[in-house]
Amino acid sequence: MRTVTALSPAAATLPAPLFATPGVASTRVAARARVVVASSKRPWDRVTPAVRAWVRPLVGLAILGLLVWRVGAGPILAGLRLIDGEALALALAIGALTTICCAWRWCLVAGGLGVRLPLRSAIAHCYRAVFLNSTLPGGVLGDVHRAVRHGRDAGDVRRGIRAVVWERTAGQLVQLVVALVVLLALPSPVRSYVPALLAVAVAAGLAVVLLAWALPRHGPARWIGALRTARADIRDGLLARRNWAGIVLASLVVVAGHLATFLVAARTAGATAPLSRLVPLMLLALLAMGVPANVGGFGPREGVAAWAFGAAGLTATQGVATAVVYGALVLVASLPGAAVLLARRVRVPAAAVRQV
């Protein structure tokens, strides 16, 4: 009499070859899984990192090409030829002030996260980062470089990266708040949309707060650690009593410095509109610089400046010329970073990382 082995309900539902030959089964399951995963990926996820790295700069070049096609290269070259020694000196002085404030803000955030960062070394790293941001595609590679290098020198790459991320985030948030207030108070092409943007910003803030409250209780386990780390970073690095006032002050000075440089560029390019009319337009262009689809900062900034100046009753040509002159002045102001890059002597001293 043959012995018949009873199959479990789960095994009985499997295809016969899959149940009979485990080796072939695992191969077929893996192949089917790869097909399912590949078919479920979004089109952008299927693009290789090398291709993705070139897409954003190409978008910036496309914007510049479209602007040159529409307004011509003559006004842009004319604006660059108008740059004189006074404009360059002002750009270098303003750039020094904003770089020192960025370095101070970075020191405050890094210290809050438990990583010692001397101000002198931070200034050198920030100058180098600004130079790399102004010369390489994407506009953020300099910040990536300083984050990784600081983390390696301090003995904690993750914490070093987080310090730069939170420092940059704090600066962008302060700039966004300043922009919303100015765009609401002064006439601009987007003034009628600012209340809706404020409502969206408040709703997004409430959503983040609710998510931070609910995720540790009901969210997946893999997100709990990341969320707790983020909350600790915000508490110790940004909102600590010894940090938040300095971070806000440094960020306000940086925004004022960017606006002052933009004003120098506008006057150099021939814009004679009053300050109350130019500041909202310059803030819109500064916000566009946060889009990582640029080449050394050029691209979306020039596109938004052309639209904003034209919509405000000025000319798109003047907007493009102002933005291009601004980019040139920022590049000149970042040249001390080239010296730091070539010297290769400035290193963040190895620091003991406090357990936070």
pLDDT of 165 higher than 60: yes
- How many domains are contained in the chain? 2
pTM of structure = 0.79
Residues 219 and 307 in one domain: yes
In this predicted structure, what is the pLDDT of residue 325?
94
C-alpha to C-alpha distance for 145 and 309, rounded to whole angstroms: 35
Residues 215 and 271 in one domain: yes
C-alpha to C-alpha distance for 307 and 285, rounded to whole angstroms: 10
Using alpha carbons only, what angle is made at residue 328 by residues 320 and 282, rounded to the nearest 5 degrees? 45
Q: Would you state the structure tokens that stand for residue 113, as one six-digit string?
A: 């996260």
Q: Would you state the structure tokens that stand for residue 60, as one six-digit string?
A: 């910036």
Residues 29 and 120 in one domain: no
Q: What's the rounded mean pLDDT across residues 306-326?
A: 92
Burial class of residue 307 (count of CB atoms within 10 Å of its CB; 0-12, 13-18, 19+): middle
* DSSP structure string for 19-82: HH-HHHHHHHHHHHHHHHHHHHS-GGGGS-HHHHHHHHHHHHHHHHHHHHHHH-SHHHHHHHHT
pLDDT band at 182 (very low <50, low <70, confident <90, very high): very high
C-alpha to C-alpha distance for 259 and 268, rounded to whole angstroms: 14
Instruction: Collapse the DSSP code of 137 into the 3-class scheme (helix H, G, I; strand E, B; otherwise coil) and give the result.
Output: strand
In this predicted structure, what is the pLDDT of residue 206?
87
Residues 35 and 89 in one domain: no
Residues 30 and 112 in one domain: no
Residue 355 forms part of a structural domain: no
C-alpha to C-alpha distance for 172 and 85, rounded to whole angstroms: 31
Residues 198 and 96 in one domain: yes
Task: Using CA atoms of 85, 87, 88, 93 in order, give the dihedral in degrees to the nearest 10.
Answer: 120
Of the chain, the percentage scoring pLDDT greater than 90 comes to 49
Using alpha carbons only, what angle is made at residue 3 by residues 2 and 5, rounded to the nearest 5 degrees? 140
Backbone angles phi, psi at 60, to 5 degrees: -60, -40
Residue 24 forms part of a structural domain: yes
C-alpha to C-alpha distance for 145 and 147, rounded to whole angstroms: 5
C-alpha to C-alpha distance for 64 and 58, rounded to whole angstroms: 10
Higher pLDDT pick, 14 / 149? 149
pLDDT band at 66 (very low <50, low <70, confident <90, very high): confident
Residues 156 and 256 in one domain: yes
pLDDT of 9 higher than 90: no
Q: Would you state the structure tokens that stand for residue 255, as one six-digit string?
A: 């925004």
Residues 203 and 138 in one domain: yes
Chain mean pLDDT for the chain = 81
Residues 72 and 172 in one domain: yes
Using alpha carbons only, what angle is made at residue 96 by residues 94 and 99, rounded to the nearest 5 degrees? 105
pLDDT of 37 higher than 60: no
Residue 53 forms part of a structural domain: no
C-alpha to C-alpha distance for 95 and 262, rounded to whole angstroms: 12
Using only the alpha carbons of the chain, give its radius of gyration: 26
Of the chain, the percentage scoring pLDDT greater than 70 comes to 78
Give the CA diameter of the chain: 105
Cβ neighbour number for residue 139 with a 10 Å cutoff? 27
Helix and strand numbers, DSSP H then E, in the chain: 16, 0
Residue 184 forms part of a structural domain: yes
Residues 35 and 103 in one domain: no
- CA of 100: how far to CAs of 45, 48, 104, 136, 324, in Å? 39, 38, 6, 22, 24
- CA of 180: how far to CAs of 7, 189, 285, in Å? 67, 13, 13
Residue 351 forms part of a structural domain: no
pLDDT band at 119 (very low <50, low <70, confident <90, very high): very high
In this predicted structure, what is the pLDDT of residue 348?
46
pLDDT of 305 higher than 90: yes
Residues 17 and 142 in one domain: no
Residue 275 forms part of a structural domain: yes
C-alpha to C-alpha distance for 200 and 11, rounded to whole angstroms: 52
Long-range contacts of range 138-141, CB-CB < 8 Å, 24 or more positions apart? 138/56, 138/57, 138/292, 138/294, 139/289, 139/292, 139/294, 139/296, 139/297, 140/292
Residue 198 forms part of a structural domain: yes
Task: Give the domain extent around 331.
Answer: 58-343
Residues 3 and 147 in one domain: no
pLDDT band at 208 (very low <50, low <70, confident <90, very high): confident
Residue 1 forms part of a structural domain: yes
